[in-house]
């Protein structure tokens, strides 16, 4: 019972955070640069987020194979961008953090069916974003990790780390009680 309630809470928090943060990102994009450019920029992250989210909820099997690959590609990109400053953050905004956000929301929604996988994916993505932030810090300018986490990175890393812990707690509780998600349905079919 505890694992089921915790799963519902964790999935609800992923959906709530994804919606609120997504609306905030879209609102900022429409405020600056606005116009058609904002439509294109918003669609660039929102369309993959929505497609991967639907896949995660409706087709957990294929998405549990696809999401780690997509997450790995985005993680490598975010770290390379942090090291080499490929995108001009002043001109384009926090492209890496938004890209990671667009992948982590579907990873969290995979927790509807697969809590452990969701937890580990969220943990890996959060860690990659943290590594990218540390790699991209302006140490010469005196930037501290605390100030770096105060921006878009902190808004991505900290909530997703907490959600990773929640999904891993769901998985641990299910192992401890001996019931995986859907275990009740298997028991009913056995009778």
Please state the domain extents for the chain.
2-182
pLDDT band at 180 (very low <50, low <70, confident <90, very high): low
Q: What angle do CA 43, 49, 54 make, to 5 degrees?
A: 125
pLDDT band at 189 (very low <50, low <70, confident <90, very high): very low
Q: What is the pLDDT of residues 20-43, one digit of tens each?
A: 999 999 999 999 999 999 999 999
Question: What would the two tokens of residue 157 be?
Answer: 């890393």
Q: What is the pLDDT of residues 149-161, one digit of tens each?
A: 777 777 889 999 9
CB 107 within 8 Å of CB 17: no
> Residue 96 has what pLDDT?
92
> Residue 142 has what pLDDT?
62
> Residue 93 has what pLDDT?
84
> Residue 179 has what pLDDT?
61
Question: What average pLDDT score do residues 120-145 get?
Answer: 83
Q: Taking the model in full, what pTM does it have?
A: 0.89
Q: Report CA torsion sign: 78, 118, 51, 10.
A: negative
> Residue 181 has what pLDDT?
52
Number of other residues whose CB lies within 10 A of the CB of residue 83: 12
> Residue 153 has what pLDDT?
77
């Amino acid at each position: 019972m505890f694992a089921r309630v915790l799963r519902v809470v964790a999935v609800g928090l992923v959906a709530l955070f994804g919606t609120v943060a997504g609306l905030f990102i879209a609102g900022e994009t429409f405020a600056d640069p606005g116009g058609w450019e904002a439509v294109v920029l918003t669609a660039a992250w929102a369309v993959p987020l929505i497609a991967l989210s639907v896949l995660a909820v409706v087709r957990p099997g294929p998405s549990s194979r696809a999401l780690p690959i997509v997450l790995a590609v985005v993680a490598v990109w975010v770290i390379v961008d942090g090291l080499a400053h490929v995108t001009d953050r002043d001109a384009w905004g926090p492209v890496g953090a938004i890209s990671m956000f667009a992948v982590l929301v579907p990873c969290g929604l995979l927790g509807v069916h697969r809590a452990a996988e969701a937890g580990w994916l969220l943990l890996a993505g959060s860690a990659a974003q943290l590594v990218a932030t540390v790699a991209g810090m302006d140490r010469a300018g005196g930037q501290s990790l605390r100030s770096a986490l105060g921006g878009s990175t902190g808004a991505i890393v900290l909530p997703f780390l907490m959600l990773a812990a929640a999904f891993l707690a769901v998985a641990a509780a299910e192992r401890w009680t001996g019931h995986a998600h859907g275990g009740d349905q298997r028991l009913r079919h056995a009778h």
